[in-house]
A and B are shown apart, each in its own frame.
Chain A
Amino acid sequence: MQKITREQLLDRAVALLSDGTVNSVLGWQKGEFDYDVTPHIFKSADELKEGFVWNDFCYANFSKYLVLKTDRIEGKLLVFLKPCDTYSFNQLLTEHRFDREKVYAIGVGCEGMVDVNKLKAAVDGISSIEATEEGLKVTTIYDDEPTVVAIENVLLERCVNCKSKKHVAYDELMGEEGEIIDSARFDEVAALEAMTADERFAFWQNELSKCIRCNACRDACPACTCENCVFNNPNSGVETKAPVTSFEEQMFHIIRAYHVAGRCTDCGECSRVCPQNIPLHLLNRKFIKDINECYGDYQAGEEVGMRAPLVDYTLEDLEPGEVLNRRGEDA
């Protein structure tokens, strides 16, 4: 359950709209069900009062929309940012991908967001969801007794392993400021590293073969902001619309993760949006873990203007062979 209420955010948004600070509001719009919240640009107070929501399903990272939208709208845009979104916000500013002057950012405290897939696996036929202190009270269309689902059982993976409750960018903060968390987010990567090459190969073949190349991981990623991706460009020679062979599956996912290596803030959108539940964050986190271990701890988006590790070097860097064999010979 979120500590900040919908009303608090709504009142603030309406106030900023009416005093002319902002022209429009990027917020979450109520859907058909209690969980299918859509990002939406609200233009008026009435529209906000009718459709604005803030609940445990406001998982979308809004930073990406700033790239797509700020050029096209007049005046300032109010945007609500959860702690993890603020890292992407800074990273995009570092890369000069949007105009800071056109954005009014409100940092919103976040208690973790719910993974709808997990919730649906726990309860079939959801008709309504109410957030209570005990958890989510879910009623169904089959007139069963309401079920209370503990929030910690249905959190998104990225929230289970939340890396920071601290906002690193905002114009105004609502709710309490949190701390950077020493999370266990690299444990899964370490477990994979500890496997033999054969086991790792089998693991990834199984996962990547599920890919349907819908490109959702790329399109939702706030670090993927190329106007024309190599995989969409018929002149690039590698344009592919379907994973025709296992090689193409591998190539797409290696290049996607590699292209954001050092810039990925680990916001977890790629894994959240994947319709096939491929754990894509394990690719991104591998790069982050390697970078931390080889070139010093680095958190993309922590500050504006940081130099990304893959466009930097020192004279004493490890050789590629040393990086590969730093944990000894392969098992």
Chain B
Amino acid sequence: MQVKEYKPLIVAFCCNWCSYAGADLAGNNRLNYPADVKIIRVPCSCRVNPMFILRAFQRGADGVILCGCHPGDCHYTSGNYYTRRRMAMLFSMLDYLGIERERTRVEWVSAAEGAKFAATMNEFVEAVSALGENKRLEDLRCKR
């Protein structure tokens, strides 16, 4: 019997101005990162509200990563500073509820950092793969 290899599903929210462009650059430079990463483009990292993260997990994500401009470089001046606080509090709460802390991450990736984008994704996918399937924040109905 052939055992199906476990492939994690990763959702990456990327801000339009830096991280999405960073992903583009990674592609243009032919840098490899796993196809398990599904990118959702958002206008700014602070567009992502906690419900987005939770619903990504509900719909089957095994890890969620949020990428935005480096602090100080936000296209809207201060959006990512708010993101930093919000996500720090949310991820800390998820950890408090016993959800593995490796499943969530925030990284700052600029438009020039194609290499960092690819490296970050490789590393994150590896970390999530090591954890295996998301069982603690899943909605079984979505896996039928």
Contacts and interface: CB of A to CB of B under 8 A. Distances in A.
Direct interface between A and B, CB < 8 A: yes
Contacts of B55: 238
Interface residues of A, number: 47
Contact of B100 (A193, A197, A320): A197
Contact of A248 (B90, B99, B105, B139): B139
Nearest to B108: A319
23 contacts: A192-B96, A197-B98, A197-B99, A197-B101, A200-B96, A202-B98, A204-B97, A238-B55, A250-B137, A261-B89, A294-B88, A295-B85, A313-B81, A315-B81, A318-B88, A320-B87, A320-B88, A320-B92, A323-B89, A323-B91, A324-B92, A324-B95, A325-B101
Contacts of A130: none
A295 B82 CA distance: 13
Interface string B75-91: 00010011011111111
B35 interface: no
Nearest to A312: B85
Interface centre among B54, B90, B96, B104 (most CB of A within 10 A): B96
Contact of A250 (B51, B97, B100, B140): B97
Contacts of B85: 295, 309-310, 312-313, 317
A229 interface: no
Contact of B98 (A200, A248, A314, A319): A200
Interface in B21-78: 50-51, 54-55, 57-58, 71-72, 78
Interface residues of B, number: 38
A218 B81 CA distance: 29
Contact of B50 (A200, A203, A258, A317): A258
B12 to A, nearest CB: 15
Contact of A313 (B82, B89, B90): B82
Interface in B125-144: 136-141
A202 B98 CA distance: 8
Contacts of B101: 197, 324-325, 330
A287 B98 contact: no
A68 B91 CA distance: 34
B119 interface: no
Closest 8 CB pairs of A and B: A201-B98, A313-B81, A200-B98, A247-B139, A323-B88, A320-B88, A320-B106, A320-B87
A261 B50 CA distance: 12
A313 B84 contact: yes
Contacts of B104: 320
Contacts of A149: none
A255 B93 contact: no
Contacts of A311: 82
A250 B134 CA distance: 14
B119 to A, nearest CB: 15
A313 B74 CA distance: 14
Contact of A324 (B54, B86, B91): B91
Contacts of A310: 82, 85-86, 89
A247 B89 contact: no
Contacts of B94: 254
